[in-house]
Amino acid sequence: MKTILQANKISKTYGKKGTAKYTAINNLSFEMKEGEFIGIMGPSGSGKTTLLNMVATLDPLTDGEITIDGISVSSMNEDQLSDFRSQNLGFIFQDFNLLENMTVFENIALPLSLQNKKLDKIQSSVHQVASLLGIGDITEKYPAELSGGQKQRTAIARALIHEPTLLLADEPTGALDSQNAATLLDTLVDLNEERKVSILMVTHDPRSASYCSRLLFIKDGKLDRELFPSGTRDEFHQEILAVLGDLDRIPLAGVRS
Amino acid sequence: MILKLALNGLKKKQRDYAILFTGLIISIAVFYMFLTLSLNKEFILQNSVINNIQLVFLVGTVMLSVITFFYLFYTNSFLLSLRKKEYGLYELIGAKKLQIRRVFQIETMAITGISLIIGLILGIILSRVVSWVLMNQLNIGFIQFKVVYLPAVFWTVIYYLVTSFITSSIHNLWLAKISIIELLRSEIQNDLLPEKPKNAALMIFLGLFLLAIGYVALYFMETLRFIGLFTAPIATTLGTYVLFVALLPIIVRKWKRNKKVNFKGINSFTSGQLNFRLSSLKWVLATIALLIALSAGAIAGGFAFKNDAFTSIDEHWQYDATLYNPGAAEMAVLDSIPVEEQLTYRMKLDDEFIYLVLDELNAAPPLIRDMVTYEVVRPDPLPEELEIEGGSQIVSDQWFTALYAINPALGGTKSTRIVPLEEYELAEGEEISIVLARTADFSAHIEEWQKLDELQMDIYPDLVTGFDPETDSVATKYAQFKTQYAIASGTFFMGFFLGLAFLTMMASILMFKILSGANNDIRRYDSLRKLGVRRRVLENSLSRELFIVFLFPGILGLLHVFVGMRMFTFIMDEPYYRLWVSILIFLAIYGGYYFFTIHLYRKIVLPKQ
């Protein structure tokens, strides 16, 4: 299997010179193979969103190197990073981040428009991905007219249309009810298993995490442990809950300083 | 404590307040300048020419104060909407409504106070500059003119303080009624989906129809008179609103329907933004279009008025100089310029009549403008015998005009008798000679005319009973021109500064309106950045979007001016004189606002580099 993401001893420190520094990510390394569905978990303030933003090239590294699909993104300038994101990455956010002044169709088409693809190609791709996600009949609506689940599907369609190397999801079920969340996660699993889409997802929800093929637990900016599913999804869920309980106990004991 | 918090909140919204300040400061400065020019008491008493300008500036003050009232009202409500959430938070942590209301009032008054200080300083500088320019233009000294004039300072301060007290009190009442939850939620508001235009074709037709009526009324104002005066503003205003409401959404819709263009680069986002923005701003934009018409119209009108002082003086006076008993000094001045025609008449005055020689008049009839045909002609020869009716000789209308042209200073004082030479020789009284002179271009010899008027000043006291050289002016073309030119220059300055003040206030309303939507946009631009859109592309999208927003009211406003200037034909000859200069001035200011808005918008929605 090809390695599509490699984080090598990355660190992120906030705070200017002379002020108190805060280390969000501390000398962290991990690898991701093509077709993996990795979940990142950890308590609030553990640095999981910072990690995702660094992988997403939105937040520059203080130290270390990130390589995506063999390309090092650490040394790129702003424009190069923009282009890299628009071609190689797909994003799903908790609050969907759909552009509410554009129709569903326009939202989904945007990544291809930005690459100046031909209109025919754009139209056929949008129809294809929209029907794959079951939103083929609402493409002329505006986001304000959609339900939460429909919005998230639109966001996924937009994240997938340009066939990115890596799909990044930040709490994708955070704004959904349990029914819609389950449907969404099933969709992600389908995409992962059938279309071999590699997914990196940050979540604090153990239920969502149980859909992943590998879990990384972050604590105090460091990789605390890894977890692989062994039995059924429910068993995996229980296992995750146990780990989280374990992680939570330590700060209560007052070790964190 | 609350006051301290509020002061901090104010600091955070510096940028919005800066826009408010510019509009307010310019308005105050111009207001003060108008008042100083119109109220300077000693100055009025000293100068008869200035008397005329002062009325012009007083009219300007009234117009400015009306618009300023609405501006203050609007900006005050905008200020409140900026701070709503913050006030809600204060209330949430236990501040009393009364405290919050007091803070709001103090804030508003403080803003007005600061603006007043800066505005008055600017106003004093402005008065100095404008009075200096007027002085040079009119060739008169501004003795006794006080740039720092306390009554003007007093009235400016009173007007702005009272107005902002009234507007903030009205909003205060509203603040008293609103619930805490509404205050807290006020920032979370989604843009409404643009409605599908209903009966769009009909509306557009109606809008164009109304605009056409308005334009026809403006164009034929001279013939329509009062009907036109009422129809033009009403139809044009209605037409502008209907057209903006119906046409703007259609244009964007049509644009979006062109998929090849829409799905290229970031175009779909830009047009989506416009679609929402234009439909939420259509009322404001229509208002802006009308106010642009007013401000550009004021600038252009002032310009045309100034030019008119030259052209209209030639309409009424065919002879550039009318000299009573000219001496060697006068003749020397006349000899120094290329005179095209010079006529001399003799006149005798007794206790009852003014006598003129029939043969002299018939031998050299002066040029006059016929009041019926409006052509420049020489009157037909007078008959040998002139009938007398009710003590006056009956002459033709043309000769009536001619007699006034020959004898402008004394013509109305006594009855005129046109008599044969023999009869004239027998008449009692001192003989006076009158010389009329005409050049090809009156405006080319202004200095000479002024000199001749000064020389005539010595002759008039003997000629006209009760003539006081200190206060009265001679009856010449130049004297009338001087008065007319003073009014025209006054109108020019008033038009220019009124236009400038209108424009500053309007543009700052447009900026407010656009920038208050910017907070909603931060998330959108952030999403786009995350999706991998280059900064340059985002900047371009933003510039294009705002360009269209500024463009529509600009175009329609200027169109109104182009048509509307025609209206002035019934008070001046060439209302379109150098219109391009006024348009350029307008475009420079409006364009400046456009770029400033873009700059601020970028600072709000795009992350720091």
The model's pLDDT over A78-123, given as tens digits with 9 standing for 90+, comes to 888 888 888 889 988 888 888 888 899 999 999 998 888 889 999 9
Q: What is the DSSP string of A173-189?
A: TTTS-HHHHHHHHHHHH
Bridge partner list, B53: none
Same domain, B466 and B479: no
Question: Mean pLDDT, chain A, as a whole number?
Answer: 86
Q: Supply the DSSP symbol for A176.
A: S
Q: Which residue of B has its CA nearest to A101?
A: B272
> What digits encode the pLDDT tens for the residues B583-596?
888 888 889 889 98
Q: Give residue A160's domain range.
A: 3-253
**pLDDT given for residue B527 in this prediction:** 87
Nearest to B542 by CA among B598, B475, B478: B598
**pLDDT given for residue B409 in this prediction:** 81
Polymer length of chain B: 609
- Indicate whether B482 belongs to any domain: yes
Using only C-alpha atoms, what is the Rg of chain B?
32
Same domain, B178 and B290: no
Distance from CA of B276 to the nearest CA of A (A): 6
Q: Which of B122-131, B488-497, B549-558 has the least mean pLDDT? A: B488-497
Nearest to B549 by CA among B305, B367, B347, B278: B278
> What digits encode the pLDDT tens for the residues B191-250?
566 666 677 788 889 999 999 998 888 888 777 777 877 888 888 888 988 888 888 888
**Which amino acid appears at position B559 of this protein?**
L
CB A110 within 8 A of CB A102: yes
More confident: A111 or B608: A111
Residue B528's H or E segment, with its range, is helix B518-530
Q: Which two tokens stand for residue B524?
A: 């959108």
Q: How many domains does chain A have?
A: 1
What b-and-e string marks burial along B213-243, b requiring 16 or more CB atoms within 10 Å of the CB?
A: bbbbbbbbbeebeeebeebbeebbbbbbbbb
- Indicate whether B262 belongs to any domain: no
Instruction: Report the 3 state secondary structure along B458-478.
Output: HHHHHHCCCCCCCCCCCCCHH
Q: Which residue of A has its CA nearest to B526?
A: A97
CB B365 within 8 A of CB B378: yes
- Of B257, B281, B296, which marks where a domain is finished? B257
What long-range pairs does B372-376 form, CB within 8 A, spacing at least 24?
B372/B397, B376/B318
- Indicate whether B92 belongs to any domain: yes
Confidence of residue A21 (pLDDT cuts 50, 70, 90): confident
- How far apart are the C-alpha atoms of B155 and B35, rounded to whole Å? 8
- pLDDT score of B48 more than 80: no
Q: Give residue B251's domain range.
A: 199-257
Q: Which two tokens stand for residue B565?
A: 């200037």
Beta-strand ranges (E) seen in B390-475 are 392-393, 415-419, 431-439
CB B494 within 8 A of CB B280: no
- pLDDT score of B112 more than 50: yes
- pLDDT score of B188 more than 60: no
Distance from CA of A90 to the nearest CA of B (A): 8
CB B566 within 8 A of CB B218: yes
**pLDDT given for residue A254 in this prediction:** 41
Q: Which residue of A has its CA nearest to B527?
A: A97
Task: Say yes or no: A116 contacts chain B, CB-CB below 8 A.
Answer: yes
- Of B472, B495, B530, which marks where a domain is finished? B472
- Indicate whether B461 belongs to any domain: yes
**pLDDT given for residue B197 in this prediction:** 64
What long-range pairs does B208-213 form, CB within 8 A, spacing at least 24?
B208/B239, B208/B243, B209/B239, B210/B235, B210/B236, B210/B238, B210/B239, B210/B242, B211/B235, B211/B236, B211/B239, B211/B240, B211/B243, B212/B239, B213/B239
Same domain, B510 and B457: no
- pLDDT score of B100 more than 50: yes
- pLDDT score of B456 more than 60: yes
- How far apart are the C-alpha atoms of B526 and B533, rounded to whole Å? 10
Same domain, B46 and B178: yes
Q: Across the A/B interface, how many CB contacts are shorter than 8 Å?
A: 90
Are B263 and A78 inside 8 Å of each other by CB? Answer: no
Same domain, B52 and B94: yes
> What digits encode the pLDDT tens for the residues B380-428?
888 887 888 877 888 888 888 888 888 888 777 788 888 888 888 888 8
**pLDDT given for residue B141 in this prediction:** 61
CB A216 within 8 A of CB A30: yes
Are B530 and A91 inside 8 Å of each other by CB? Answer: yes
Nearest to A212 by CA among A235, A232, A229: A229
- pLDDT score of B156 more than 90: yes
Q: Which two tokens stand for residue B32?
A: 């003060």
Confidence of residue A253 (pLDDT cuts 50, 70, 90): very low
Confidence of residue B51 (pLDDT cuts 50, 70, 90): low
- pLDDT score of B76 more than 60: yes
| CATH code for the domain in which residue A75 is found | 3.40.50.300
Same domain, B13 and B158: yes
- pLDDT score of B519 more than 80: no
Collapsed DSSP state (helix, strand, coil) of residue A222: strand
CB B170 within 8 A of CB B65: no
Same domain, B392 and B412: yes
Interface test with B, best of A89, A110, A154, A162 (most B CBs within 10 A): A110
Same domain, B30 and B167: yes
More confident: A180 or B609: A180
Q: Which of A245-254, B32-41, B505-514 has the least mean pLDDT? A: A245-254
Are A83 and B534 inside 8 Å of each other by CB? Answer: yes
Write phi, then psi, for B323 (nearest 5 degrees).
-115, 130
Same domain, B565 and B586: yes
CB B90 within 8 A of CB B158: no
- How far apart are the C-alpha atoms of B432 and A166, rounded to whole Å? 107
Distance from CA of A40 to the nearest CA of B (A): 20
- How far apart are the C-alpha atoms of A142 and A104, rounded to whole Å? 6
**pLDDT given for residue B544 in this prediction:** 92
Task: Calculate the alpha carbon distances from B18 to A60, B10, B14, B456 in Å.
Answer: 34, 11, 6, 57
Task: Say yes or no: B193 contacts chain A, CB-CB below 8 A.
Answer: yes
Confidence of residue A255 (pLDDT cuts 50, 70, 90): very low
B340 contact partners, CB below 8 Å, separation of at least 6: B438, B439, B440
Task: Say yes or no: B185 contacts chain A, CB-CB below 8 A.
Answer: no
| ipTM associated with this complex | 0.84
Q: Which of B31-45, B86-100, B365-379 has the least mean pLDDT? A: B31-45
CB B574 within 8 A of CB B303: no
Same domain, B461 and B477: no
- pLDDT score of B134 more than 90: no
Q: Which two tokens stand for residue A102?
A: 């554009």
| Candidates B259, B269, B529; nearest CB to A102 | B269
Question: Mean pLDDT, chain B, as a whole number?
Answer: 83
Q: Which residue of B has its CA nearest to A86?
A: B532
| Candidates B263, B266, B273; nearest CB to A101 | B273
Task: Say yes or no: B257 contacts chain A, CB-CB below 8 A.
Answer: no
| B263 vs A contacts (CB less than 8 Å) | 106, 109, 112-113, 119, 122
| B529 vs A contacts (CB less than 8 Å) | 58, 82
Cβ-based neighbour number of residue B421 at 10 Å: 12
- Of B164, B189, B214, which marks where a domain is finished? B189
Name the A residues in 24-83 with CB < 8 Å from any B CB: 56, 58, 78-79, 81-83
**pLDDT given for residue B49 in this prediction:** 57
> What digits encode the pLDDT tens for the residues A162-212?
888 899 998 888 878 888 888 888 888 988 888 888 999 999 888 889 999
Same domain, B288 and B249: no
Same domain, B112 and B169: yes
Q: Which two tokens stand for residue A237?
A: 């869920």
- Indicate whether B194 belongs to any domain: no
CB B319 within 8 A of CB B476: no
Task: Say yes or no: B532 contacts chain A, CB-CB below 8 A.
Answer: yes
Q: How many domains does chain B have?
A: 4
- Sign of the Cα torsion B592, B596, B597, B602 reads positive
